[in-house]
Amino acid sequence: MQNEFSYETLKNKRIEKAVSSCAEMFLKYGIDAVRMTDIARESGVGVATIYRYFGTKTGITIAAMTYLWNQMREMFSGIFDSDVFLAQTGLKQLRDLMRMYIVIYQAHPSFMRVLSEFDLMITAENVPKEDLREYERSIINFYPVFEKSYVAGLTDGTVREVPDIQMFYLSFAHSLMELCKKLIHGELLPSDDFTFAEKELETVIDTAIYFLKKEE
């Protein structure tokens, strides 16, 4: 058994501290505004150590975003296995799942803002897909729960059969996520009016539910 106070353990704890400090600073200031020296100062980990471990700011940024997604995953842990959720009709379960995007938009706007900035960063820097495997695994994937709720809806008669339910899921999930990002950035064009931003998200969800609902 590895000694809790071994050099390797202490080193890993320092690296974890650097990543968590980096993530918190991103939420507060944004990715572009945070420098490696800022992360070193905030975490108490030497900047040389951070560079040696992560190589570049891009490296620790990917680690920080993975950390944030894991935190988000913990927040939703257990909700969709609860008796209260499973006691609902399949259609109601599907609506609650879709509303998770509104919950994230309302409660974690800084996360949505940083997520949008991160997407632009990995595109601009042409980050290899291989470097994003761990990050991809951390992203909350509601599809297994969605598919289970869809099957429950077919069984209880509240949901109609859809030819390709996975394609449907991807379409509405991408639409809601991108709309959340746009709303978080705020009004840009003269015609933009986000006074009823959450109503826009509700409208997308209502449209999806109308499509899924089985005619009586």
pLDDT of residue 105: 85
The residue count for the chain: 216
For the residues 79-91, what does the mean pLDDT come to?
Answer: 94
pLDDT digits (tens, 9 = 90+) for 99-108: 988 888 888 8
pLDDT digits (tens, 9 = 90+) for 163-216: 999 999 999 999 988 888 888 877 666 766 667 788 889 999 999 999 999 987
7 pLDDT higher than 60: no
2 pLDDT higher than 50: no
pLDDT of residue 9: 52
Q: How far is CA 107 from the centre of its chain?
A: 12
Mean pLDDT, the chain, integer = 89
The per-type count for the chain, helices as H runs and strands as E runs, is: 12, 0
pTM over 0.85: no
Grade residue 156 by pLDDT with cuts at 50, 70 and 90. Answer: very high
* Nearest alpha carbon to residue 58 among 123, 141, 139, 136: 123
pLDDT digits (tens, 9 = 90+) for 141-152: 889 999 999 999
pLDDT digits (tens, 9 = 90+) for 115-129: 999 999 999 999 999
Higher pLDDT, 137 or 90: 90
DSSP state of 159: B
Percent share of the chain, pLDDT over 90: 65
pLDDT of residue 213: 97
42 pLDDT higher than 70: yes
Decide if 45 contacts 15 (C-beta within 8 A).
yes
Q: How far is CA 203 from the centre of its chain?
A: 21
pLDDT of residue 6: 52
pLDDT of residue 189: 60
